[in-house]
A and B are shown apart, each in its own frame.
Chain A
Amino acid sequence: MTRFGRFIARNFVLVLGFVVLLYLFAPIVVVMLMSFNAPKSRLSYTFDGFTVDNWLHPCRPFGLCDAVSTSLRIGLLATVVATALGTLMAFAMVRHRFRGRSATNLFIFLPMASPEIVLGSSLLALFVSSGFGGRLGFWTILIAHVMFCLSFVVVTVKARLAGMDSRLEQAAMDLYANEWQTFWRVTFPLVFPGILAAALLSFSLSFDDFIITNLNAGTTVTFPMYVWGSAQRDIPPQINVIGTAMFLLALIFVLAGELGRRRRERTRS
């Protein structure tokens, strides 16, 4: 066997893993490539020519940037509300023992275990039957987004809290910190990465949601709804610009977090 063959044999699983990662990344490469596309016709799915024009004028397709801004506003608001409510719930679940705790656990888990089409259609049924059928829009989308982000926030913050050493708080109390001081000086800073992760998760869930939003949006158009609408007619390359930009921003965020973590670890050791 050649040296290369032996390497493959020894690291078979790792190689397989990389192949699967390639599968995960193939469409993203296409999105990046297509953001530089100069399509010949309006219904073109092929790469016809290179241009940076799309990047210079991302708002050219009518309504695209309005849709992005609607999605950003809903995403930010939903993130703030869901993160606040979900963090409170996570504290109750991990730090307190009360009657109905396991039932509450199930209750929080259920929305994550329901298909989006069911969540979306039941909300629509509620809005219609309570007379809000004609007023679907920004606020009904926001209500829906907070609802489905909430469970994900609880689970994320809960995991961080559960993995925390409660002796640190006991030590603070032993050193005569009162409950309030202990919370803000010890507990909160330790849980904060979990809250931040939950907020990021909420934002990306909200920004990306289509199925639930589409049922409860009325005439309001979010970014995914804009993409859906244009997929039926023509796909402006600027959509790929927005997709690539979002991806790069998130990547920078993740890399910065990872670098920060490594630096903290180095200074500690």
Chain B
Amino acid sequence: MSAVGQLGAASQSAAPPPVERSGRRMTAYLLLLPGGLWLLLFFVVPLVSLLAASLYDPNGSIENGFSMTWHWQNFGTTMADYWRPFGRSLWYALLTTAFCLLLGYPLAYAIAMRAGRWKNLMLALVIAPFFTSFLIRTLSWKMLLSDNGFVVDALQWLRILGPDGRLLATTAAVVTGLTYNFLPFMVLPLYASLEKIDRRLIEAGGDLFAGPVTTFRTVTLPLSMPGVVAGTLLTFIPAAGDYINAQLLGTPKQRMIGNDIQRLFAAGAYPTAAALSVTLMAAIVVLVLIYVRRSGTEELV
């Protein structure tokens, strides 16, 4: 979890060490070998076999086996069938990222700038929810948002919800759950980059007669952009692939692409499921590349 926060931090502080003798260089390769092999065998090779599986003959089955027929049409047919949950996933992930930024920025700012000696405690509190299982927390949202729960009662009393209005089994519930689950992934990188800002720059803004709002807009916000970029990526990517929130807090109308991929794999429809999975990965890679390029912070890793 602190790892996520340090994503941005690690890159800039780690200047490459000086050029080395060839013996030391061999040591580097030896150190990388076991972990690198693991990633190669169980991350890269699987991606290749996923791509291969997406091109299998869709008429195969687990019993009779699948044959490789370079069936590129799989991508077309799956998109025709599943473009709705696919678009919905990206839309929910976008909403989630926006809400996480809206909620996470004030919290990260409060911890980095205002918390004083409570800084470490507040950071620990941000990480603490991780220690109760993701699923159990999502289930307790199901209870909090249930029709006779106090959140619905309060919103009905405030006339925000109609007397028959409900939260559970709506888009709002799914996005609330997603926002909740991925909020720490937004807060930690934001905190890491806000923490590093030289306070004197902010004071200088005030000295030059900028109001707090102008100082924030022209000094603090631009300087925290690496955190914003890292945080939005770390929220958007897992949110787009999630299906737990849609399953537990929504109805089939809120179904996300993850629900379908999981269901199709479980049913043994490998070519279709693999094609959907490859499309999701490709869409995310393209979106991330565009986003990183436009926001101008390629120094992310």
Q: Are A24 and B28 in contact (CB under 8 A)?
A: no
Q: Are B125 and A89 in contact (CB under 8 A)?
A: no
For the residues of A in contact with B, the DSSP-based class is: helix
Q: How far is the CB of A161 from chain B (nearest CB, A)?
A: 8
Q: Contacts A30-B140, A85-B38, A163-B13 given: A117-B261 contact, CB under 8 Å? A: yes
Q: Are A85 and B140 in contact (CB under 8 A)?
A: no
Q: Are A158 and B25 in contact (CB under 8 A)?
A: no
Q: Contacts A96-B27, A116-B238 given: A31-B136 contact, CB under 8 Å? A: yes
Q: Is there a chain B Cβ closer than 8 Å to A79's Cβ?
A: no
Chain B minimum-CB-distance residue to A148: B43
Q: Is there a chain B Cβ closer than 8 Å to A94's Cβ?
A: yes
Q: Is there a chain A Cβ closer than 8 Å to B72's Cβ?
A: no
Contacts of B28 in A (CB 8 A): 92, 95-98
Q: Are B136 and A156 in contact (CB under 8 A)?
A: no
Annotate B103-115 by CB proximity to A: 1 below 8 A, 0 otherwise.
1101101110111
Q: How far is the CB of B176 from chain A (nearest CB, A)?
A: 9
Q: Are A122 and B131 in contact (CB under 8 A)?
A: no
Contacts of B128 in A (CB 8 A): 24-25, 28, 247, 250-251, 254
Contacts of A251 in B (CB 8 A): 128, 131
A151 to B238, CA, bound (A): 15
Within the complex, which residue of B3, B46, B143, B288 is in contact with A34, where a contact is CB–CB below 8 Å? B143
Contacts of A228 in B (CB 8 A): 135, 244
Q: Is there a chain A Cβ closer than 8 Å to B152's Cβ?
A: no
Contacts of B284 in A (CB 8 A): 114-115
Contacts of B127 in A (CB 8 A): 254
Annotate A92-119 by CB proximity to B: 1 below 8 A, 0 otherwise.
1111111001101111111101111111
Q: How far is the CB of A29 from chain B (nearest CB, A)?
A: 8
Q: Are B134 and A113 in contact (CB under 8 A)?
A: no
Q: Are B136 and A243 in contact (CB under 8 A)?
A: yes
Q: How far is the CB of A35 from chain B (nearest CB, A)?
A: 10
Within the complex, which residue of A45, A96, A150, A239 is in contact with B143, where a contact is CB–CB below 8 Å? A45
Q: Is there a chain B Cβ closer than 8 Å to A91's Cβ?
A: yes
Chain A minimum-CB-distance residue to B256: A117
A127 to B243, CA, bound (A): 23
Chain A interface bracket (under 10, 10 to 19, 20 to 34, 35 or more) = 35 or more
Within the complex, which residue of B17, B114, B131, B148 is in contact with A46, where a contact is CB–CB below 8 Å? B148
A 212-269 contacts with B by CB, 8 A: 214-215, 223-224, 227-228, 231, 235, 239-240, 242-244, 246-247, 249-251, 254-255, 258
Q: Are A210 and B244 in contact (CB under 8 A)?
A: yes
Q: Is there a chain B Cβ closer than 8 Å to A52's Cβ?
A: no
Q: Are B140 and A115 in contact (CB under 8 A)?
A: no
Chain B minimum-CB-distance residue to A198: B3
Q: Which of the 9-residue segments B74-82, B154-162, B198-206, B272-280 touches chain A?
A: B272-280
Q: How far is the CB of B133 from chain A (nearest CB, A)?
A: 5
A159 to B14, CA, bound (A): 8
Q: Are A95 and B109 in contact (CB under 8 A)?
A: no
Measured CB to CB, the residues of B under 8 A from A are: 1-3, 6-7, 9-10, 13-14, 16-20, 24-25, 27-29, 31-32, 34-36, 38-39, 42-43, 45-47, 49-50, 52-53, 62, 103-104, 106-107, 109-111, 113-115, 120-122, 124-144, 146, 148, 180, 183-184, 233, 237-238, 240-244, 248, 257-258, 261-262, 265, 270, 273-274, 277, 280-281, 284, 288, 300-301
**9 new A-B contacts at CB < 8 Å, known A117-B242, A246-B133:** A27-B144, A28-B128, A88-B35, A109-B300, A122-B49, A147-B43, A150-B35, A208-B134, A211-B262
Q: Can you spell out 23 A-B residue pairs with CB atoms less than 8 angstroms apart?
A: A13-B106, A17-B106, A17-B109, A24-B180, A27-B144, A34-B143, A46-B148, A86-B35, A92-B28, A92-B29, A102-B301, A107-B39, A113-B237, A118-B50, A118-B280, A121-B261, A146-B38, A156-B2, A162-B14, A208-B134, A211-B262, A227-B135, A250-B131
